[in-house]
């Protein structure tokens, strides 16, 4: 069985990112997985890290090539033209 202690959470915090990145060894990965099954705080930390990583990855994606930018640029040019 697994006992939740502050010191255990500190140990998990030290390897959590490596675990989530798939870089923890098998024993460490098993330890983190077991801890996350029973510790809500560390589970929330893991979810936060994953959400941040996902948001950062989404920022690096190029905008969709659906023509929206061209339509907006054309609309702005029309607005800038002198009224007759």
- Exposure of 25 in the CB half-sphere (CA atoms within 13 A): 2
Decide: pTM greater than 0.85: no
Dump pLDDT digits (tens) for 43-83: 999 999 999 888 888 877 665 667 777 777 777 777 777 76
Section 22-34 average pLDDT: 95
Give the pLDDT of residue 84.
59
Give the pLDDT of residue 15.
92
pLDDT category at 2 given cuts 50, 70, 90 is low
């Amino acid at each position: 069985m697994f006992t939740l202690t502050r010191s255990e959470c500190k140990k998990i915090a030290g390897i959590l990112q490596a675990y989530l990145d798939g870089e923890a060894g098998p024993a460490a990965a098993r330890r983190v997985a077991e801890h996350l099954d029973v510790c809500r705080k560390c589970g929330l930390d893991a979810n936060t890290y994953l959400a941040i990583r996902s948001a950062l990855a989404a920022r690096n994606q190029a905008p969709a090539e659906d023509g929206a930018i061209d339509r907006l640029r054309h609309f702005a040019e029309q607005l800038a033209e002198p009224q007759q």
